[in-house]
């Protein structure tokens, strides 16, 4: 007998929708069936029901800024608009003193998180980054440091000849408290060979996050979508994350990252339409039943689509940013990403939800 959830016709996604309504865990076939669903209103209802079961009507935000130590990188990801070679126009490499100056500009402000990610610099190892963390923590002791993708940690550990566990412990001793989820892209290795051929492989990415979870370091996870992947690749990616979360419980949030097509070599014409972005948010919320938060990262989506994503399962919109990241602006997004707390709260309220300021670990900040 043919399993109806393996089809992409109406009966397939209807059966998957019924399963989601009953609160049952969706299979890979069910996820693919929902990606084929053209009924955005239904997907909105299903994903909103799921996010309300987990987080009620709350939508979270924080007061944060980014530090991007360098965009010089050993990797050659064809979707990347950010990477430069050393000495190339548009490249930078901050020293620890440069980073101290950035942090001093935030001293005395109610910042609760410093987000640190950048290129994989060929000459910098884990000891440089440990000193960077120490410097940040000395100036902003009240702020949580969320730093370094698994791709960055993979390189800095190998360069220093240390295990991932010893590397993470060294970073933790110097101020690392959480990790972002970048570098995951799409886990399928055939896709990775085409879009990020020399990057950390999916097994290593998952292993580093599993190690971090075991050491008490909370992390996020991401997925880059809207390029050459298929719905089947997305579902495979999501289920690998769900499996690790079942094992460790260490992921706090998942962030779907939309591929931006400007200024890179991937060669994909245009970008996926808003309807597909919203469909993807909904399916992510429904498949990832064990990761508590789904983030609509507004510097990548834009404020309007971010607000709409709140009706497709998202319950977090990141933070103030303060025009401190160039990763998406160099790919054609908002050139000056910054929002004030009143602006963030107004966006959330206008969408019909309750704004909640949080720290890195989703604990509400009392005012």
How many Å apart are CA 138 and CA 149, to the nearest integer?
A: 22
Pair (252, 286) in one structural domain: yes
- Please give the helix or strand (H or E) that residue 244 lies within, else none: helix 231-248
Structure tokens at 265: 């070599």
How many Å apart are CA 192 and CA 123, to the nearest integer?
A: 25
In a domain, 63, yes or no: yes
Number of independent structural domains in the chain: 2
Which pLDDT does position 334 carry in this prediction?
A: 57
**pLDDT band, residue 11 (cuts 50/70/90):** low
Which pLDDT does position 10 carry in this prediction?
A: 58
Q: What are phi and psi of 156, to 5 degrees?
A: -65, -30
Which pLDDT does position 85 carry in this prediction?
A: 80
Pair (60, 85) in one structural domain: yes
pLDDT at 326 over 80: no
How far CA 277 is from CA of 65, 168, 184, 230, 314, in Å, comes to 25, 34, 18, 14, 12
- Which tops the pLDDT comparison, 311 or 266? 311
Which pLDDT does position 258 carry in this prediction?
A: 92
Mean pLDDT of 136-163: 97
CB 307 within 8 A of CB 277: no
Which pLDDT does position 3 carry in this prediction?
A: 36
Pair (11, 151) in one structural domain: no
pLDDT tens for residues 171-192? 999 999 999 999 999 999 999 9
pLDDT tens for residues 82-130? 778 888 887 889 999 999 999 999 999 999 999 999 999 999 999 999 9
Burial class (CB in 10 A: 0-12, 13-18, 19+), 303: middle
Which pLDDT does position 263 carry in this prediction?
A: 65
In a domain, 43, yes or no: no
Pair (174, 249) in one structural domain: yes
CA atoms within 13 A on the CB side of 137: 17
Pair (18, 73) in one structural domain: no
Pair (260, 282) in one structural domain: yes
CATH number, domain of 281, equals 3.20.20.70
pLDDT at 324 over 50: yes
> Of 52, 55, 13, 15, whose CA–CA distance to 279 is shortest?
13
Pair (140, 215) in one structural domain: yes
Mean pLDDT of 20-40: 93
Structural domain range at position 281: 50-357
pLDDT tens for residues 226-251? 999 999 999 999 999 999 999 999 99
Pair (57, 13) in one structural domain: no
Mean pLDDT of 299-313: 95
pLDDT tens for residues 48-94? 999 999 999 999 999 999 999 998 999 888 878 777 888 888 788 99
Pair (27, 101) in one structural domain: no
Give the pairing type, strands 354-357 and 64-67: unpaired
- 3-state secondary structure (DSSP) of residue 303: helix
């Amino acid at each position: 007998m043919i399993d109806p959830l393996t089809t992409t016709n109406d009966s397939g996604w209807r059966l998957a929708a019924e399963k989601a309504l009953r609160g049952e865990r969706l299979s890979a076939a069910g996820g693919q069936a929902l990606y084929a669903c053209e009924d955005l209103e239904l997907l909105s209802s299903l994903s909103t029901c799921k996010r309300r079961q987990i987080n009620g009507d709350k939508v979270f935000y924080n007061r944060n800024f980014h530090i991007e130590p360098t965009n010089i990188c050993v990797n050659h990801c064809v979707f990347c608009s950010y990477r430069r070679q050393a000495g190339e126009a548009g490249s930078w490499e901050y020293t620890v003193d440069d980073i101290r100056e950035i942090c001093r500009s935030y001293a005395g402000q109610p910042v609760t998180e410093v987000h640190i990610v950048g290129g994989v610099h060929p000459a910098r190892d884990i000891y440089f980054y440990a000193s960077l963390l120490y410097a940040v923590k000395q100036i902003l002791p009240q702020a949580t440091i969320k730093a370094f993708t698994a791709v960055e940690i993979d390189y800095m550990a190998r360069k220093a000849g240390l295990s991932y566990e010893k590397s993470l412990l060294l970073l933790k001793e110097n101020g690392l408290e959480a990790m972002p989820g970048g570098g995951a892209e799409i886990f399928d290795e055939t896709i990775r060979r085409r879009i990020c051929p020399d990057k950390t492989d999916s097994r290593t990415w998952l292993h580093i996050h599993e190690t971090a979870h075991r050491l008490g370091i909370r992390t996020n996870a991401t997925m880059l979508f809207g390029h050459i992947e298929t719905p089947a690749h997305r579902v495979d990616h999501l289920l690998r994350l769900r499996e690790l979360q079942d094992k460790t419980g260490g992921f706090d949030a998942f962030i779907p990252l939309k591929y931006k097509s400007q200024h890179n070599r991937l060669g994909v014409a245009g970008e996926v339409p808003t309807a597909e972005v919203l469909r993807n948010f909904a399916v992510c919320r429904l498949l990832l039943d064990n990761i508590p938060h789904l983030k609509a990262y507004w510097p990548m989506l834009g404020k309007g689509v971010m607000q709409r994503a709140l009706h497709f399962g998202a319950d977090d919109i990141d933070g103030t940013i303060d025009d401190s990241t160039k990763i998406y602006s160099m790919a054609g997004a908002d050139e000056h990403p910054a929002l004030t707390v009143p602006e963030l709260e107004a966006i959330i309220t206008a969408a019909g939800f309750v704004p909640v300021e949080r720290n890195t670990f989703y604990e509400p900040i009392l005012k």
